[in-house]
Amino acid sequence: AQKITQTQPGMFVQEKEAVTLDCTYDTSDPSYGLFWYKQPSSGEMIFLIYQGSYDQQNATEGRYSLNFQKARKSANLVISASQLGDSAMYFCAMRDPTGGFKTIFGAGTRLFVKA
């Protein structure tokens, strides 16, 4: 069965430092997509980054990068040069054909950026 696990309920980081948010996943399908979303206190979900299971290189989008370790079924999000506006909930998610192309979400990690 599909599963997404985020083991860090909360994380603190100093402004301008880098932070890694952990995510592990489980699926029996060789073809899948991994996503990270940001949810500020206002509630909307913002798509950050995508990694396909067959992509050879780790995905990057500005200050966001995805550390994809396929053998370990790990898809950690790295935020470089943290900003106060990065304080939010972050959700790891997965989508695969086994699940009918639905997306399942982890429980989330709340990130606090300190000034």
What residues numbered 33-72 form the site for another protein, per CB under 8 A?
33, 35, 37, 42-47, 50
The answer to whether 3 and 25 have CB atoms below 8 angstroms apart is yes
Rounded distance between C-alpha atoms, residue 39 and residue 44, angstroms: 6
DSSP string, 31-94: --EEEEEEE-TT---EEEEEEETT-SS--EETTEEEEEETTTTEEEEEE-S--GGG-EEEEEEE
CA distances from 81 to 36, 58, 94 (A): 18, 18, 26
Q: How many residues bind another protein (CB under 8 A)?
A: 21
Q: Tell me: does residue 78 bind another protein (CB under 8 A).
A: no
- Name the minimum Å distance from CB 16 to another protein: 27
**Only segment of 13-21, 32-40, 63-71, 72-80 that touches another protein (CB under 8 A):** 32-40
- At its nearest, how many Å lie between another protein and the CB of residue 39? 9
Q: Is 102 in the site for another protein (CB under 8 A)?
A: yes
Nearer to another protein, 35 or 68 (CB): 35
**Which residues of this chain interact with another protein, rule CB under 8 A?**
4, 33, 35, 37, 42-47, 50, 91, 100-108
